[in-house]
Amino acid sequence: MSAEDLIAAARAAMARAYAPYSKFQVGAALRFADGAVVTGANVENASYGLSLCAETVAVARALAEGRRGGLVELAVVASGPDTVTPCGRCRQVLHELAALGGIDPVIHCVGPGEVREVRLSELLPHAFGPGSLG
Ligand code: THU
């Protein structure tokens, strides 16, 4: 699967976002080493602070499916005017799954007219993870 296909999967997920409060829709698509793609969209709540980000939903889906690593790359796309990068909490949540597989995934951060490619370790250097507990 190409990066374009992964971005298309993130866009399709974004269309299913439940974001009636912020109206800011986000989609994420995770690609695994076995070729599987797991997507997520943001899920908001009337109690605003309980809202879930797209990346976190995707990671939770992957873990709940039994995945414990193999995350190679992901794409994130949002409905806003700027290039979207995962929020701080999502960086940490992504790191958990990435660290289980020992892979530093590429993140395709989609914006209007550009796709910024960064490694998760660039967004979250010196991360705390599963290996940090001893
Ligand atoms: N959001 C995400 O889904 N991912 C991010 O990385 C940043 C923010 C969502 C949360 C909320 O539903 C909306 O975007 C506005 O913050």
pLDDT in tens, 3-30: 999 999 999 999 999 999 999 999 999 9
Question: 50: which DSSP letter?
Answer: G
The residues pairing with 25 across neighbouring beta strands, listed in sequence order, are none
**Residue 1 confidence (pLDDT) above 90:** no
Retrieve residue 98's tokens. 């990435």
Tell the CATH superfamily of the 3-126 domain. Cytidine Deaminase, domain 2 (3.40.140.10)
Return the pLDDT at 39: 98
Find the residues whose C-beta lies inside 6 A of ligand 1. 19, 22, 24, 26, 42, 44, 51, 53-55, 86-87, 90
pTM: 0.97
Query: Is the pLDDT score of 85 beyond 90?
Result: yes
User: Tens digits of per-residue pLDDT, 35-64?
Assistant: 999 999 999 999 999 999 999 999 999 999
Active site residue 44: no
Select from 131, 56, 46 the least CA-distant residue to 88. Answer: 56
Residue 24: the pLDDT is: 98
119 backbone φψ class: left, alpha, beta (φ>0; ψ -120 to 50)? beta
Give 89-133 pLDDT, tens digit per residue. 999 999 999 999 999 999 999 999 999 999 999 999 999 999 999
Phi, psi of 111, rounded to the nearest 5 degrees: -140, 175
Interval 64-85 mean pLDDT: 97
User: To test the ligand 1 pocket, which listed residue (48, 51, 85, 94) has its Cβ within 8 A of the most ligand atoms?
Assistant: 51
